[in-house]
Amino acid sequence: MNLARHFAERITALRYEDLPPEAVYWSKVAVLDTLGVMLAGSREEAPHIVEDVLGLPAGSGPCLIVGSERRAGALDAALVNGTAAHVLDFDNTAAHMGGHVSAVMVPALLAAAEAFGGSGRDLLLGHVAGYEVGARIGQSVNFYHTEKGWHPTWTIGVFAVTAACARMLNLSVDQTETALALATSLAGGTKANFGTMTKSLHAGSCARNGLLAVMLARKGFTANPGAFEHKQGFFEVFNGTGNYDAARATAHWADPLDIVVPGASYKLYPCCYSTHAAIEAALNIVRKHGRFDPKKIARVESHTADVRLMHTDRPDPNSELDAKFSVQYCVLRALIDGKVVMEHFENEAYREAVVRELLPRVHAIALSGIKFDNADPFNAMVNVTLTDGTTLSAAVDYPLGRTSANPIALADLKAKFENCAGRVLAPQTAGTVARAIDTFEEVKLVRDFMAQVVPAGPVLIRRSA
């Protein structure tokens, strides 16, 4: 049996009634978190450029462009909202997929639900199904796939989106098989564009393309059902012979559901997840020893895994988006401010005089010979040497929010949502939307829910530096 068929049979067999409570809970958390960062991201320049280029006429479709009162067709809404969901790099990630999972699925699912009359239950079920498919394919191709330079958020996420929307729109086995096969030709995204607007476009394009595959298959479009295994198919083209294990894609389907174990990783800091353990180590130093005069910092060593340094060793960030991928900048911010927040990636904060003076003293070093309690590639150690010779150190095995085993408290995730959403919505509206997500499975029509997510007035676009 080909892989597309294998997945199609399992996707269509999945029922909401079969989901454990934990899967429903984590899917609702994903909707909460993704919608929040999408609202905050809607103020950024990137999604507005995308919308401008599309040239969408006013009131041109059934789906909300989040952060506005404007509406568009499902594919255009998925593209714009998916870009907004990822532009702040504040959205969740999936360990087994190796990329950002809900920022690609939720915008597509919301658009499909608004366009075709989906319910909250339909959306939550689709999210679980898509998460599972993304995890299984991710385990087949990583880490080689990501080290080669592909961005799994799009290259693998497109299958998560396709599976999610196929399940939500109740496609048949044959239609779902075709959609997944079609999606092999709609994958893309290179890591060379990290630190630019294009990275967020990866998420938007993924959301659009996965939904496009489903909408085409629904209408009878054709694709090669063997597109994963073909000698010029997904596995061979994206990884090459000997660099993937297709058998891992078919092992352990929903046993347990990947959204439950290991589950997604959620962010407390609006920057690349590969910097988070080092940020927490730096914050732990500040918590233990108190704030100190930044001018007394003589040298900082940030030790993280070399696979993370491939895209975070940026000693001299030259834009706000670039700063989100600079472990040096993120660690320095934690040390001198005792926090890392959205404002640190706005208004050219990376150009502040104290930052420019101290950044050359911060060194990113690959982990070597340092013992941790686990082999997790996200652990980190930070050493700070002061001008008087004092050395301060802290290590972090798992950053908070790393998988369901180390969760961020729901109250803190709601606070994050209200902080993000509050940049666009009135505080009372943001609170109402957050409470509605608590009972999202009871939402009869997602389009009615989305009618609440409309700003009271025009939203100021924040131009990127």
Give residue limits of the domains in the chain: 3-255+262-266+407-450, 273-396
Whether pLDDT at 376 is above 80: no
In 234-390 the beta strands, taken as DSSP E runs, fall at: 264-265, 297-304, 362-366, 380-386
Mean pLDDT of 208-234: 98
Q: Percentage of residues in the chain with pLDDT exceeding 70?
A: 98
Whether pLDDT at 344 is above 90: yes
Mean pLDDT of 83-111: 97
What's the half-sphere exposure (Cβ side, CA atoms, 13 Å) at 263?
Answer: 21
> Any idea what the Cα angle at residue 26 is, between residues 21 and 27, rounded to 5°?
100
Whether pLDDT at 245 is above 90: yes
Whether pLDDT at 330 is above 70: yes
Coil, strand or helix at 381:
strand
Q: What is the pLDDT of residue 369?
A: 60
> Any idea what the Cα angle at residue 101 is, between residues 97 and 105, rounded to 5°?
130
- Judge contact between 96 and 139, C-beta under 8 A: yes
Q: What is the pLDDT of residue 174?
A: 98
Confidence tier at 374 by pLDDT (50, 70, 90): low
Residue 44 C-alpha from the chain's centroid: 16
Confidence tier at 373 by pLDDT (50, 70, 90): low
Task: Report the C-alpha gap between 272 and 194 in whole angstroms.
Answer: 10
In CATH, the number for domain 3-255+262-266+407-450 is 1.10.4100.10
Mean pLDDT of 326-347: 96
Task: Report the C-alpha gap between 194 and 417 in whole angstroms.
Answer: 25
Helix/strand/coil percentages in the chain, nearest 5: 55, 10, 40
Confidence tier at 308 by pLDDT (50, 70, 90): confident
Confidence tier at 348 by pLDDT (50, 70, 90): very high
Instruction: Give the residue among 123, 112, 52 at the shortest CA–CA distance from 77.
Output: 112
Q: Identify the DSSP state of 150.
A: B
Q: What is the pLDDT of residue 398?
A: 82
Q: What average pLDDT does the chain have?
A: 95
Q: What is the pLDDT of residue 60?
A: 79
pTM reported for the whole predicted model: 0.93
Mean pLDDT of 315-331: 96
Q: What is the pLDDT of residue 370?
A: 58
Instruction: Give the residue among 367, 376, 397 at the shortest CA–CA distance from 306.
Output: 367
Confidence tier at 461 by pLDDT (50, 70, 90): confident
Between residues 309 and 11, the one the model is more confident about: 11
> Any idea what the Cα angle at residue 57 is, between residues 55 and 58, rounded to 5°?
135
| Strand bridging mode 93-94 / 391-396 | unpaired
Mean pLDDT of 418-443: 95
Q: What is the pLDDT of residue 36?
A: 98
Whether pLDDT at 463 is above 90: no
Check whether the bond before 256 is cis (ω within 30° of 0): yes
Mean pLDDT of 129-151: 96
- Judge contact between 74 and 107, C-beta under 8 A: no
The answer to whether the 3-255+262-266+407-450 and 273-396 domains have the same CATH topology is no
Helical ranges in 184-296 per DSSP H? 197-218, 234-238, 247-250, 276-289
Whether pLDDT at 372 is above 70: no
Mean pLDDT of 435-464: 91
Q: Percentage of residues in the chain with pLDDT exceeding 90?
A: 90
Mean pLDDT of 87-95: 96
How many Cβ atoms sit within 10 Å of the Cβ of residue 247? 9
Q: What is the pLDDT of residue 396?
A: 93
- Judge contact between 100 and 122, C-beta under 8 A: no
Encoded tokens for 411: 């109250």
Q: What is the pLDDT of residue 99?
A: 96
Whether pLDDT at 57 is above 90: no
Whether pLDDT at 310 is above 90: no
Whether pLDDT at 203 is above 70: yes
Mean pLDDT of 286-302: 93
Whether pLDDT at 375 is above 60: no
273-396: CATH topology: 60s Ribosomal Protein L30; Chain: A; (3.30.1330)
Q: What is the pLDDT of residue 460?
A: 81
Confidence tier at 414 by pLDDT (50, 70, 90): very high
Phi first, then psi: give them for residue 93, nearest 5 degrees.
-130, 160
Encoded tokens for 317: 């960030």
Between residues 216 and 290, the one the model is more confident about: 216
